[in-house]
Structure 1
């Protein structure tokens, strides 16, 4: 039997030692306690979804949001190596 890989996912949750500030699209700045990052490699696009967890709630970071440097560094640091095969 043969098969073609259509999508590969990698999800991590990072508890932050020091809560970091994040300003959402409506201008609220809150301390982020944890970050969930889901990397999805598919034949359509490389996709990264980020959820910030506060002390009392969580929110998806919209693709149009400004990503602070500390969050960009976490995303880059934990990004898995791409598959060694061609996705179709």
Structure 2
């Protein structure tokens, strides 16, 4: 199945070079793939996987190892952000 995978801020460095400018890439993942299975090949440091959204809806940390996606979903991940 195909999903849109978006990474923000410093995490865009983990996308393929041609996708970094747009911060997103269309990827093929197995049916029923979990967030953890999708994130793993991109070697994202888990300490930087802070805000996770599926189709704009927050996914709490305790659901990230078991939550699966559906065809056409958009997975977006933000690192911790400091401001002031």
TM-score by length of 1: 0.30
TM normalised by structure 2 equals 0.31
Relative to its length, the structure with more strand (as a share) is 1
Higher relative CO (CA 8 A, sep ≥ 6), structure 1 or 2?
2
